[in-house]
Amino acid sequence: MSKRDYYEVLGVAKTASESELKVAFRKLAMVHHPDRNPGDKEAEIKFKEVNEAYQCLADGQKRAAYDRFGHAAVSQGGAGGPGFGNEFGDFMSDIFENFFGDGRGAPGGGRGRGGAPGRERGADLRYNLEISLEEAFAGKTETIRIPTSIACETCSGTGAKAGSKPRTCSTCGGYGRVRAAQGFFAIERTCPNCHGRGEVVDDPCPSCSGAGRVNRERTLSINVPAGVDDGLRIRLAGEGESGLRGGPAGDLYVFLSIKPHPFFQRDGADLFCRVPISMVTAALSGEITVPVIDGSQTQVRIPAGTQTAKQFRIKGKGMPVLRSREVGDLYIQVSVETPQNLTKRQRELLQEFDQSASDENHPESAGFFSKVRDFFVSGSTRA
Ligand SMILES: [Zn+2]
Ligand SMILES: [Zn+2]
């Protein structure tokens, strides 16, 4: 069966532009549309012929091949040629697509209006990064490895073997969905030929088996600024999973957590450190050495008569405030340690001290017990 020339079928010149082709195709498709010609076999054949011609000429590569070699170049069946012999309804979707184009969102298809079919945005990734308080203080550059899929380098993400290109799915015309007429109803469903992608890969890329992306471990350098706090989220746009078939990549979210420190507690930019001091230092005064988050040490003067829970502030030795020049303070809270495991001699010394002690030495105790006494006395009076 000899085939008519595609240009002749569409009634256009060999030099016709893309838009001229489109206009001609629309006109003819409307004329021969099966809805307008119910039961007309000839119209059905014409309609398919018009569709076939347009599918070929609308594709730059196929058109060039057709111009040089004629039908032989494009209709060898299987690979290369537009797949024919589809259900009737499938052609209708081509029509709908061509007429209504991107104005028709796929209802319930999960695709935005006008979005290129099959192009899926890559998933966002979450990475939990735990750092020490010292690292939060100084900031750091952390190298992380994330298992992710990246665009296949062999095929640049198209999924097609080198030298070939994915072609627009002929079943759905690139729409990703097909419509089938059933009585009065037109039913739309995901294209069975391309599974909604809108294009088909005849010659899949050997590296990615046509998926367009491969699983890789990616190394990424993350800059953690000084002063970060627990629970902070750093967003790295476009560093998530790569998109499918040329879709945009997702984002990478780095969730920071800070390991508990053995002796510093943090409250915003301030740091707290509980330091035990001896009873004698607390009573007689003295100097203690305390740690600083930057790794250094500093001296704190303990005045005579210091009580447990007394706080000493060391200005500017806390955490830096994120993206500012401010720095928090370090609070040293002392806790007076009661001596234990006393020798006989030590006991004697303390007993000797106790015998000589008066309320002057323990004003707080004296004050407290006199209050308690007053409370019970006045209580019993009231009763
Ligand atoms: Zn590939
Ligand atoms: Zn399709």
Print pLDDT tens along the chain (383 aa).
Answer: 567 888 888 888 888 888 888 888 888 888 887 777 777 888 888 888 888 888 888 888 778 877 777 776 665 433 333 333 333 333 333 433 333 333 333 333 333 333 455 667 888 888 899 999 999 999 999 898 887 777 888 888 788 888 888 888 888 888 888 887 766 677 778 888 887 878 888 888 888 888 777 887 878 888 899 999 998 888 888 888 777 766 788 888 889 999 999 999 999 999 999 999 999 999 999 999 999 999 999 999 999 999 999 999 999 999 999 888 999 999 999 999 999 999 999 999 999 999 999 989 999 888 998 899 888 887 655 54
Q: How many CB atoms lie within 10 A of CB 218?
A: 16
CA 304 – ligand 1 centroid, Å = 77
Q: How far is it, in rounded angstroms, from Cα 14 to Cα 8? A: 9
Say what the pLDDT of residue 382 is.
Answer: 52
Cα–chain center distance at 350: 66
- Ligand at minimal distance from the CA of 171 is 2
CA 153 – ligand 1 centroid, Å = 6
Q: How far is it, in rounded angstroms, from Cα 166 to Cα 245? A: 10
Q: In what order do the strands lie in the sheet with 270-278?
A: 265-267, 270-278, 330-337, 311-314
Residue 181, token pair as written in the block: 């007429």
Q: How far is it, in rounded angstroms, from Cα 57 to Cα 80? A: 13
Q: How far is it, in rounded angstroms, from Cα 327 to Cα 319? A: 6
CA 162 – ligand 1 centroid, Å = 9
Coil, helix or strand at residue 10: helix
Say what the pLDDT of residue 3 is.
Answer: 78
pTM: 0.53
Q: How far is it, in rounded angstroms, from Cα 195 to Cα 43? A: 29
- Ligand at minimal distance from the CA of 211 is 1
Say what the pLDDT of residue 114 is.
Answer: 39
Say what the pLDDT of residue 76 is.
Answer: 41
Q: How far is it, in rounded angstroms, from Cα 80 to Cα 129? A: 49
CA 310 – ligand 2 centroid, Å = 76
Q: Measure CA of the first residue to CA of the last residue in the chain; give whole Å.
A: 122
| One-letter amino acid of 268 | G
Say what the pLDDT of residue 106 is.
Answer: 34
Q: In what order do the strands lie in the sheet with 125-131?
A: 125-131, 252-258, 233-236
Residue-wise burial string across 28-44, b where 16 or more C-beta atoms lie within 10 A, e elsewhere: bbeebbbeeeeeeeebb
Residue 376, token pair as written in the block: 């019970």
CA 176 – ligand 2 centroid, Å = 5
Spatial CA neighbour of 188 closest among 93, 95, 98: 93
CA 163 – ligand 1 centroid, Å = 12
CA 27 – ligand 2 centroid, Å = 23
Q: How far is it, in rounded angstroms, from Cα 145 to Cα 194? A: 34
Structural Rg of the chain based on CA atoms: 40
CA 192 – ligand 2 centroid, Å = 7
**Are 210 and 157 a contacting pair, CB within 8 Å?**
no
- Ligand at minimal distance from the CA of 156 is 1
| One-letter amino acid of 24 | A
Residue 54, phi-psi category: left (phi > 0), alpha (psi -120 to 50), beta (remainder): alpha
Q: How far is it, in rounded angstroms, from Cα 286 to Cα 300? A: 9
**Are 111 and 176 a contacting pair, CB within 8 Å?**
yes
CA 116 – ligand 1 centroid, Å = 20
Q: How far is it, in rounded angstroms, from Cα 212 to Cα 245? A: 6
**Are 179 and 236 a contacting pair, CB within 8 Å?**
no
CA 77 – ligand 2 centroid, Å = 17
CA 248 – ligand 2 centroid, Å = 21
CA 339 – ligand 1 centroid, Å = 73
**Are 122 and 240 a contacting pair, CB within 8 Å?**
yes
Spatial CA neighbour of 215 closest among 125, 146, 123, 149: 149
Q: How far is it, in rounded angstroms, from Cα 340 to Cα 274? A: 20
